[in-house]
């Protein structure tokens, strides 16, 4: 179940607005559910009802389209009548004659005004309000974009690079293709959020200030050279969802002193930890296939049953 349910009447501009809002929230690990398909009877209606009943925040994008939408009115009714009673937030965009049925609900809430049109809506106060509900504080984003078919990223002013979305990250062939390559020295923390299933090749290689990495348990593979030449990285916790660690994944991470390799890892490829001179001992499952040159010769490999 998602944290935030977004109710809206689909149009070109409103769909873009909803994506903007969802991107901001999901970059803070606040999950969103919103309709990107044509409503169909039965299953779809049940899904909507279940999502609203289990969300923590019900957000209505209240523009002229939603104001006259039976679907939006029905979703609002569910949000006000379900036992869990999510926080209801109407985000009004534009001026219009308000539907009396919708207005009865909306006047019971604090209405946030987003401006005159979905295309140019100001979402800053909305994001701050929702973030506060979840105990989070938005940071100034200095760069954002895509790094996979359905994977996005934000880099904030504190150097936190957040990867979020669904499915695999892109595998980069050349360092020049990496979206944050030109400002990689600003990256100090990497957060791979739930939903992302792989860490792409070369993704964070050569980030000199990278000191910490958080990997969600949806990730199943750390691909080749993903963290290669990260001089400041001292430790890494690999979740027990990871099955494979690609070649050169942590090559030349000279300050790396501690790594947790769970039983789920079936293979560690060529020179994955080569050049990690301070990694003196590593505990690895006896079932894990380790390439002959995966570790330095002075690293003690402890095989556990």
Q: List the domains of the chain with CATH numbers.
A: 4-133 (3.40.50.10140), 141-304 (3.80.10.10)
Query: What does 38-60 look like in DSSP terms, one character per residue?
Result: ---TTHHHHHHHHHHHH-SEEEE
Render pLDDT for 42-98 as a digit per residue (tens, 0 to 9).
Answer: 567 788 899 999 999 999 999 999 999 999 999 999 999 987 789 999 999 999 998
CA dihedral 98, 104, 110, 113 (to 10 degrees): -10
Helix 43-54 and helix 70-81: axis angle, to 10°? Answer: 40
Among 290, 260, 258, 253, CA closest to 274: 253
Percent of the chain at pLDDT above 70? 97
Helix 12-26 and helix 124-133: axis angle, to 10°? Answer: 40
* Rounded Cα gap, residues 148 and 128, in angstroms: 27
> Tokens at residue 188, please?
């100090």
Average pLDDT over residues 147-164: 93
Residue 41 has pLDDT above 60, yes or no: no
> Tokens at residue 38, please?
């044509």
Residue 214 has pLDDT above 60, yes or no: yes
Residues in the chain: 305
**Per-chain mean pLDDT for the chain:** 91
Confidence (pLDDT) at 112: 93
Q: Where are the beta strands (DSSP E) in the chain?
A: 4-7, 32-34, 57-62, 87-92, 112-113, 141-146, 151-156, 160-165, 167-168, 189-192, 196-199, 212-215, 221-222, 235-237, 244-245, 258-260, 267-268, 281-285, 289-290, 300-304
Confidence (pLDDT) at 147: 96
Confidence (pLDDT) at 297: 82
| pTM score | 0.78
Render pLDDT for 182-197 as a digit per residue (tens, 0 to 9).
Answer: 999 999 999 999 999 9
Confidence (pLDDT) at 42: 57
pLDDT band at 40 (very low <50, low <70, confident <90, very high): low
Render pLDDT for 3-39 as a digit per residue (tens, 0 to 9).
Answer: 999 999 999 899 989 988 998 898 888 999 998 655 5
Percent of the chain at pLDDT above 90? 71
Q: Are 59 and 7 contacting, i.e. CB atoms less than 8 angstroms apart?
A: yes
């Amino acid at each position: 179940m998602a944290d935030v349910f977004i109710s809206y009447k689909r149009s070109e501009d409103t769909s873009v607005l909803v994506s903007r809002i969802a991107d901001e929230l999901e970059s803070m690990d606040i999950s969103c559910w919103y309709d990107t398909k044509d409503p169909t009877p039965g299953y779809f209606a049940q899904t909507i009802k279940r999502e609203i009943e289990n969300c923590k925040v019900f957000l209505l994008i209240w523009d002229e389209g939603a104001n006259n939408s039976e679907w939006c009115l029905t979703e609002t009714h569910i949000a006000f009548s379900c036992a869990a009673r999510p926080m209801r937030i109407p985000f009004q965009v534009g001026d219009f004659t308000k539907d009396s049925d919708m207005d009865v609900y909306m006047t019971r809430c604090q209405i946030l005004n987003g401006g005159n049109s979905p295309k140019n809506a100001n979402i800053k106060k909305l994001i701050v309000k929702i973030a506060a509900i979840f105990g989070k504080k938005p940071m100034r984003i200095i760069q954002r974009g895509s790094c996979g078919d359905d994977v996005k990223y934000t880099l904030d002013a504190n150097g936190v690079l957040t990867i979020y979305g669904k499915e695999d990250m892109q595998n980069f062939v050349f360092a020049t293709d990496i979206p944050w390559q030109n400002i990689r020295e600003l990256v100090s923390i990497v957060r791979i959020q739930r939903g992302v299933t792989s860490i792409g090749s070369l993704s964070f290689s050569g980030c000199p200030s990278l000191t910490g990495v958080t990997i969600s348990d949806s990730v199943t593979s750390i691909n080749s050279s993903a963290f290669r030449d990260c001089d400041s990285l001292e430790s890494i916790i690999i979740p027990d969802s990871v099955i494979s660690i690609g070649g050169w994944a942590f090559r030349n991470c000279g300050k790396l002193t501690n790594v947790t390799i769970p039983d789920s890892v079936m293979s560690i490829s060529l020179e994955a930890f080569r050049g990690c001179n301070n990694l003196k001992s590593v505990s690895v499952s006896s079932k894990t296939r380790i390439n002959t040159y995966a570790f330095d010769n002075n690293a003690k490999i402890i095989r556990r049953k």
